[in-house]
């Protein structure tokens, strides 16, 4: 491990030590995700989970849409801000892994407030006719623009959209990076920043979290 990687690890530890405690259920889920899945690093994790929770608690969203459930870590973090009558709809196409989020949602205090939808988000979003107070986009990067266009008609003034991995491991500033994911991420970042209907800021947390608010 290089000096800078060591320093990053140490800084992450410091940030975690000085953040609110991770709820026990999330700690357990994070552990099981690393034990049972091959791409565990996709998980939002401790710091981003706490940020999602704080943002959700600030908004108290009635309807939340999450695109990309994976093992359910981010879903359970965002669910912490749901009001009594609030609901979180979370979509993932991976049937093989579905048992894991299902198990944890069932075990959680939010079990009646979470609707887990297994399917392709590009089709499933169209079936959900809701006004979204909070949206978390965290699925295949090639479809980011499609997701953004699909949710746009269902946003109102004050709606918050969070888009994950928008720095794409630094590729967004690499001239040579021409792959579809990088192109799509860059396009959405640009479209959002130029759209007068939105105010936005990319938070350099982890792989970049785009914080967007509809004016």
Positions that interact with ligand SAM (CB under 6 A) = 42-44, 68, 70-71, 73-74, 91-94, 120-122, 138-140, 143
Write down the least CB distance from residue 2 to ligand SAM, Å. Answer: 25
73 or 148: CB nearest ligand SAM = 73
What is the spatial distance between Cα 196 and Cα 190, in angstroms, rounded to a whole number?
12
Smallest gap, in angstroms, from Cβ of residue 43 to ligand SAM?
Answer: 4
Helix runs in 37-171, H state only? 45-59, 73-78, 99-107, 121-127, 144-151
Contact 145, 187 (CB under 8 A): yes
Report the residue number, 111 or 215, with the smaller CB distance to ligand SAM: 111
Instruction: In angstroms, give the least distance from the CB of 104 to ligand SAM.
Output: 11
Please count the other Cβ atoms lying within 10 Å of the Cβ belonging to residue 179. Answer: 12
Residue with Cβ nearer ligand SAM (73 or 116) = 73
Name the one residue in this structure whose structure tokens are 């196409």: 93
Q: How far is the CB of 147 from ligand SAM (least distance, A)?
A: 9
Q: Rounding to the nearest 10 degrees, give the CA dihedral for residues 182, 30, 40, 190.
A: 0
Nearer to ligand SAM, 63 or 104 (CB): 104
Instruction: State the Cα–Cα distance between residues 167 and 183, nearest whole angstrom.
Output: 11
Min dist CB 148 to ligand SAM, Å, is 14
For residue 150, how many C-alpha atoms fall within 13 Å in the half-sphere facing its CB? 19
Q: Which is nearer to ligand SAM, 37 or 193 (CB)?
A: 37
- Distance between CA atoms of 135 and 192, rounded to whole angstroms? 14
């Amino acid at each position: 491990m290089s000096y800078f990687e060591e320093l990053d690890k140490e800084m992450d530890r410091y940030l975690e030590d000085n953040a609110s405690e991770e709820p026990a259920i999330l700690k357990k889920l994070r552990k099981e995700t690393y034990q049972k899945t091959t791409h565990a690093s996709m998980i939002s994790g401790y710091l981003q989970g706490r940020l999602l929770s704080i943002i959700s608690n600030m908004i108290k969203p009635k309807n939340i849409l999450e695109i990309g459930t994976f093992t359910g870590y981010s879903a359970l973090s965002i669910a912490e801000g749901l009001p009594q009558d609030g609901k979180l709809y979370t979509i993932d196409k991976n049937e093989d892994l579905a048992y894991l989020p299902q198990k944890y949602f069932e075990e959680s205090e939010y079990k009646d407030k979470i609707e887990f939808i297994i399917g392709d988000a590009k089709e499933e979003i169209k079936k959900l006719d809701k006004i979204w107070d909070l949206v978390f986009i965290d699925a295949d990067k090639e479809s980011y623009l499609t997701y953004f266009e699909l949710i746009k008609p269902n946003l109102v003034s004050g709606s918050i959209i969070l888009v994950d991995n928008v720095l794409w491991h630094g590729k967004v500033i690499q001239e040579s990076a021409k792959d579809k994911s990088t192109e799509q991420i860059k396009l959405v970042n640009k479209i959002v920043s130029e759209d007068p209907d939105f105010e936005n800021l990319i938070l350099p947390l982890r792989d970049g979290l785009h914080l967007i608010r509809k004016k």
